[in-house]
Structure 1
Amino acid sequence: MIGGDLQFAIVVGYLFVALGIGLIAYYVSETTAEDYFLASRSLGTLVLLFTTFATLLSAFTFFGGPNLAYAAGPEWILVMGVMDGIIFAILWYLVGYKQWLVGQRHGYVTLGEMLGDRFGSRRLRATVAGVSLFWLFPYVMLQQMGAGEALVGLTDGAVPYWGGAALITAFMILYVVLAGLRGVAWTDTLQGLFMLSMVWIAVLWVLSAAGGLGAATDAVAASHPEFLAMGGGVYTPQFIISAAVTIAFGVTMFPQINQRFFVAESDRVLKRSFTLWPVLVLLLFVPAFMLGTWAAGLGVAVPEGANVVPVVLNEFTPEWFAALVIAGAIAAMMSSSDSMLLSGSSYFTRDLYRPLVDRDVSERGEAWLGRAGVAVFATAAFFASLTRPGTLIEVGDTAFSGFALLTLPVLAALYWDRTTGTGMLAGILVPQAVYVTHVLVPARTVSLFGADLTLFARTYGGWDVALGLMGLGLAITVAVSLSTATNPAAEPSRFDVSG
């Protein structure tokens, strides 16, 4: 099929452009671990804002969100576009600004390194890294799933699912090994700007072909009137609040996002970035999710296992334009994946290998060890993605909630001097253990004293179990800290940034 060949060639060509930028970054970078993982803490406002933005443009966002809007209506905009944008901007200030101040003073590269020094605990440092890597794995896998599904839809099956997943895996390994954070940040900026413009052009093109905004909206009202009623279907208040809170708090602890709290060249850059964040998020999520909603109203048929965005673009826009948008989306997923792999490798080398295996590893040796970790982690995630363990939303939501359980104990550590290392360990491990049990064990109903009781459900009364476990984690952190002594090796002064 000539059309499919052209579209596939555009996708691959775009990936090679990104790879070229990575090569330039490789030649201008230093060989130190700090430069490889943090670009020597030198990012300005535009690059910091767009590297954070592009890092979050994952398959969950660009394909999972429109798919949900296609199936249930556009209120996902309220969750991801409004509530999450505001909540994360606040957390960027509360967590990110304090982390930046502490990181500038002590040269920290990872969250685990910072907490381990504060509490004098290699065990806590390794625990934070281990939990983070555990939840990072399914989110890397999510990007590979999204790429595989996108190329199936774009090429009408000419490229199989495994081929699309393998393509993005190979490119992101090669890119991260070469580029480090400097190259990642440069391509993130390019891809963020590209995707923002392409999505708006796509919306205008689809609306023009459909007869305009009024005609597209009338079609939705006629075929899916429930989509225009607030609170309908899956969008209960419990679902909306649970999703908004767990996603925003989870994003804050994502390694690839959390490390960006360390990389701003000044406090002014950091403050500008989190102030502009809610606006930037709305500019992308509103058009992307409305594409899914209008597709439902216009009667676009989406094959099972495919994503709505490639299908609606193939129907209403020229094939070359559809390929450009999907190429940008796949590149954005690669931006998420390469950032995840880079951060994951820093967690492995700084928080597991260095303190537990070889404390004397050189900066250059650490950087190359991180590169090897990238290849192993990405390859393992690729093989796991072939099992397709759930929808993009299901896999993404599971990872978000796992990370969200870390946020409140970390906030306690940053702002409450009485927090102890034992309190942190208990506040992290207990909720994680309960949540993993709920993820892995199927829900079951048992009878107790004549009443039916549901166990191991992901929601209770419509509320995400992770929301309650977040509160449990904070309560355990506080209670155990009050009842345990401070480690003599702890240094609370490391978090003192006054003056």
Structure 2
Amino acid sequence: MSVVLQVAIVVGYLLAALAVGLLAYRLTERTAEDYYLAGRSLGTVVLLFTTFATLLSAFTFFAGPNIAYRFGPEWILVMGLMDGVLFGLLWYVVGFKQWLLGQQHGYVTLGELLGKRFDAPRLRGGVAFVSLFWLFPYVMLQQDGAGSALAALTNGAVPYWLGAGIITGFMILYVVLAGMRGVAWTDTLQGAFMLVVVWTALLWVLYAVGGASTATAALAASNPEFLRLGGGFYAVPNFLSTAVGIAFGVTMFPQVNQRFFAGDSETVLKRSFALWPILVLLLFVPAFMLGAWGAGLGVEMPASGNILPAILAEYTPGWFAAVVVAGAMAAMMSSSDSMLLSGSSYFTRDLYRPFVADEVDERREDRLARVGVVAFALATYAMSLYNRSIEGTWSLFRIGDTAFGGFAQLALPVMLALYWDGTSREGLAAGIFGSQLFFLLTVFQPETWVGGVPLAGSALAGLLEPAFGLFASSYVGGWGANVVGMGLGLVLTVAGSLLTAGRN
């Protein structure tokens, strides 16, 4: 199959999604509530699938199968059962409360809710800054995944920088035009399409190799440890730390958290979170099993570092592999467009409006939001190229896992703020920023990453070592720093609130 036809299939799919965005543009009012939340009018199917498609990212379609290929299919339990159920519960506990407050007060962002609840503009701005900081690498993740996928599909005929550039260009066009209404519509179509494609891919590969029993027997012969629960990468502390970090992190992702405000009714919220675990398993089981079976079938990891395109190239026709990659890129675009839209709202509502604007001007903010989308997307694209050019490039898994952990630090202080009347602005600030500082010090160790350059043995590393040596990526029993940081945030919020009781 020619490279031109493969690329045409991918671009054709993206153009179809863009056409939906153009239709939505014609129906979108020039107000923040309509642009960012589709007028708070989303029904059950659209809210469920737009949340679903927003999370169908490069982390799911490339990092997930890669992990199953390297460590075994128990990744289904981490991402599927654990985070399908955990996030479904959090959707109700956090999302329903946010929806009620949004209906009462017209909130558009989490920072706006917290800032007005505690009469604290700096807290509002700080939450926005933290969210944008962790959103940046996750948008990079989508661009990196798109560039890698197209390079693998075309055997390098479309280089990484061009593939990443294509997805960046499309998501800029789409978000600038479409707003939440267009994003939600296409997310619904893309989510359904991706479910069909990934199950078709699974059945096709299994048919080609002689069935699930043959694929499993090959896996048992080559990697018998993959069929045993627990141990190694899936040791209980690491397993639970990853699952808890991802579930709580997802709840605080701006593009997900903002959807808590967009539901049409209480019934919509309750139906959506109840159906969530089923939808998650329907996607993750085939995607991750393909990765695990690929190890047993002897499929070699390609230079791109992503196993799914290699499995498809081995056992399915070129046109079908192109369709799957198109769907995966659409999933990345579903994540990216939502991230850019929510990031824009955090910038305009929580940074520009309280600290720069003299008065509220919806139309000026609307224009600024669209300019911000372009600037943010181009900056992440440039950084994704830089990340590829240096030694020690961060993997898709590490980028995603780090962003999940950063967002997870927000979760417990925010939950206390939503449910505990004794929470003070000082306590909330201590919990949020104290846990963020702790997590940053565990992530950016001098021997691993500072500006992309390993510093082990350097003079700077010697100066930093006493401070950074107090922190580690895991603690007693192997528990991850993300979970330890969450616990610290909880303690700081409670202690700070008790010490400052009566000041708010």
Output one character per residue of 1:325-369: Cα deviation in whole Å (capped at 9) or x when no partner: 110100100000000000000000000000000041311221211
- 1:156 paired to 2:155: yes
SS at match of 2:189: helix
- The letter of the residue matching 2:137 is P
Match of 1:483 in 2: 499
- 1:95 paired to 2:94: yes
Match of 2:464 in 1: none
Match of 1:315 in 2: 314
Match of 1:462 in 2: 478
Inter-partner Cα distance in structure 2 for 1:379 and 1:15: 19
Inter-partner Cα distance in structure 2 for 1:455 and 1:484: 28
Aligned residue-pair number: 481
Q: Which moved more, 1:169-178 or 1:359-368?
A: 359-368
Inter-partner Cα distance in structure 2 for 1:57 and 1:344: 18
Inter-partner Cα distance in structure 1 for 2:326 and 2:232: 33
- Deviation of the 1:235 alpha carbon: 1.0
Match of 1:399 in 2: 403
Match of 1:261 in 2: 260
Match of 2:356 in 1: 357
Conserved in 2, the CA contact under 8 Å of 1:33 and 1:363?
yes
- The letter of the residue matching 1:134 is F
- 1:14 paired to 2:30: no
- The letter of the residue matching 1:458 is S
Match of 1:73 in 2: 72
- Deviation of the 1:238 alpha carbon: 1.1
Output one character per residue of 1:165-198: Cα deviation in whole Å (capped at 9) or x when no partner: 1110011011000000000000100000000010
- Deviation of the 1:434 alpha carbon: 1.6
- 1:425 paired to 2:441: no
SS at match of 1:417: coil
- Deviation of the 1:274 alpha carbon: 0.1
Output one character per residue of 1:295-349: Cα deviation in whole Å (capped at 9) or x when no partner: 1111111223331111111111111111111101001000000000000000000
Q: Map 1:126-275 onto structure 2 (within 5 A).
A: 126-275=125-274
Match of 1:496 in 2: none
Conserved in 2, the CA contact under 8 Å of 1:153 and 1:311?
yes
Q: Map 1:379-390 onto structure 2 (within 5 A).
A: 379-386=378-385, 387-388=387-388, 389-390=393-394
- Deviation of the 1:454 alpha carbon: 5.8
Match of 2:275 in 1: 276
Conserved in 2, the CA contact under 8 Å of 1:68 and 1:76?
yes
Conserved in 1, the CA contact under 8 Å of 2:151 and 2:304?
no
Conserved in 2, the CA contact under 8 Å of 1:120 and 1:487?
no
Conserved in 2, the CA contact under 8 Å of 1:54 and 1:188?
yes
Inter-partner Cα distance in structure 2 for 1:32 and 1:118: 23
- Deviation of the 1:455 alpha carbon: 4.0
Q: Aligned pair in 2 of structure 1 residues 487, 345: CA closer, same or farther (>3 Å)?
A: farther
Normalised to the residue count of structure 1, the TM-score between the two structures is 0.94
Conserved in 1, the CA contact under 8 Å of 2:140 and 2:383?
yes
Normalised to the residue count of structure 2, the TM-score between the two structures is 0.94
Q: Unaligned stretches of 5+ in structure 2? A: 448-455, 462-467
Q: Unaligned stretches of 5+ in structure 1? A: 447-452, 489-499
SS at match of 2:423: coil
Match of 2:416 in 1: 412
Percentage identity across paired residues of the two chains: 66
- Deviation of the 1:231 alpha carbon: 1.1
Q: Map 1:332-347 onto structure 2 (within 5 A).
A: 332-347=331-346
Inter-partner Cα distance in structure 2 for 1:146 and 1:281: 20
SS at match of 1:234: helix
- Deviation of the 1:433 alpha carbon: 1.0
Conserved in 2, the CA contact under 8 Å of 1:150 and 1:306?
no
- Deviation of the 1:487 alpha carbon: 4.6
Inter-partner Cα distance in structure 2 for 1:457 and 1:114: 33
- The letter of the residue matching 2:214 is A
Inter-partner Cα distance in structure 1 for 2:503 and 2:12: 55
- 1:441 paired to 2:440: no
Q: Map 1:284-323 onto structure 2 (within 5 A).
A: 284-323=283-322
Q: Which moved more, 1:91-100 or 1:381-390?
A: 381-390
SS at match of 2:2: helix
Inter-partner Cα distance in structure 2 for 1:253 and 1:359: 30
Inter-partner Cα distance in structure 2 for 1:193 and 1:487: 50
Match of 2:450 in 1: none
Inter-partner Cα distance in structure 1 for 2:4 and 2:155: 11
- The letter of the residue matching 1:89 is G
- The letter of the residue matching 1:49 is L
Q: Give me the CA root mean square deviation.
A: 1.5
